[in-house]
Amino acid sequence: MSGSIKRVSVMIKIGICDDDWKSAETIQKYLELLGKKYQYKLELEVYSSGEELICGYEEGNRFDLIYLDIEMKGMDGIETARWIREQHYHMILIYVSSYDTYLKQLFEVEPFRFLQKPVSLEAFEEVFLKAVQRIEEQKGEYFRFQSGRNMINLLCREILYIESAGRKVIVHTVNHTYEYYDKLDHVEEQLSAFRFVRIHKAYLVNMDNIEAFQYERLSLKDGTILNISEKNRPRIRSIFWNYCHGEDVNGG
């Protein structure tokens, strides 16, 4: 299946992770009420532990937002958040907890907000709307494609580069690679509105994730070094120069 660009306003996927079923039920109820009130289409998944959430993530569940308790049996909310950050740095995390004594640890995993239990609908609504605004206005667009049996939604800004490999393309992020059947020419066309640049017949690179540029090659934020094809070097140098000076690399 070919990839596509998908706006997050169409569907917001939310994970709830709390070993207190009453608290999880309250969060779910609040979200359902707010979804109806503001006409958001929400897809909710509830987990009773950090281990269960991670298992769901590894099975292909991807979220725009996660509500997370801090003190849970087994893997606590801080440890779970560290794991999430390693896989999906831009994930919006909201802690809903009775405990506010973890400020240093919370700072390390950069939660979006902290809600004190028991949380009122009014306070919950205020934070929810701010999170949705962040998702829609600051997180940008998702690139959607099917890899094996899993439907993958990736923030365009998380993609390092996309590589052509025979009849497949390989999507590279910092922590994962995904393969699916498509042509790089088609992917380049789909991502033409974003800061992706074709540096080689085999490579489509996200300009936002370039760490260093040389005339013949460039390096990405994860240390990957890619060669720029000879015929593309003058064009790429000009594009990179414009990019460094805040100009649109696609001329828009």
Q: What is the pLDDT of residues 8-18, one digit of tens each?
A: 445 788 999 99
- Does 250 reside within a domain? no
Q: Which residue has the tokens 């040389």?
A: 214
Residues 26 and 121 in one domain: yes
- Does 249 reside within a domain? no
Contacts of 235 (CB under 8 A, 6+ apart): none
Check residue 225 and give its pLDDT.
95
CA–CA separation, 51 vs 1, rounded Å?
31
- Does 154 reside within a domain? no
- Can you list the residues of the chain whose pLDDT is less than 50? 5-9, 104, 251-252
Residues 236 and 185 in one domain: yes
Check residue 7 and give its pLDDT.
40
- Does 183 reside within a domain? yes
- Does 218 reside within a domain? yes
Check residue 156 and give its pLDDT.
86
Q: How many domains does the chain have?
A: 2
Residues 9 and 133 in one domain: yes
- Does 96 reside within a domain? yes
CA–CA separation, 23 vs 68, rounded Å?
11
- Here the CATH number for the domain that contains residue 108 is 3.40.50.2300
Check residue 44 and give its pLDDT.
96
Residues 132 and 173 in one domain: no
CA atoms within 13 A on the CB side of 140: 14
**Domain boundaries, position 24:** 4-138
b/e per residue, 200-231, with b = 16+ CB within 10 A? Answer: bebbbbbbbbbeebeeeebebeeebebebeee
- Here the CATH number for the domain that contains residue 206 is 2.40.50.1020
Residues 133 and 178 in one domain: no
**pTM value > 0.75:** no
Residues 8 and 125 in one domain: yes
- Look at residues 228, 229, 252 and name the one whose alpha carbon lies nearest to residue 242: 252
- Does 251 reside within a domain? no
